[in-house]
Amino acid sequence: MAEQPKKKILVVDDEVDIVNLIKDYLEINNYSVITATDGDTALKLAFAEKPDLITLDIMMGNKDGYETCLLLRENEGTNHIPIIIITGRSTKQAEQAAASFGADMYLSKPFELQELSNLIKRFIG
């Protein structure tokens, strides 16, 4: 029986420590992980790699998470990919804005890695 290919997740956050923490945790849990620390790089990777899911910070350099999310949603090749916004902005307005730009889910920092894992499993198994 052939081994199932690992699900690919793009982790985007301008805080390298958070990127590495999420990456290490997801790799331990049998996901393939690619990373970016800004919106432009995230878009390039998403268009080229077609990940199964994207985690996306809001506050980043060049393109913020809202703009990045919107551009992903406007592209035919990436508009179906589940996007989980992970941010330090824990307000109802930020959550509503994330939804209006096309995010599937919103997770406030600080968060539990198990909570993120549960969300990912809900979307891609």
Structural domains in the chain, CATH included, are 8-124 (3.40.50.2300)
How high is the pLDDT of residue 2?
59
Write the DSSP assignment of 52-112 as a string of letters: SEEEE-SS-SSS-HHHHHHHHHHSTTTTTS-EEEEES--SHHHHHHHHHTT-SEEEESS--
Q: Residues 75-125: pLDDT tens digits?
A: 999 999 999 999 887 778 888 888 889 999 999 888 999 999 999 999 998
How high is the pLDDT of residue 95?
82
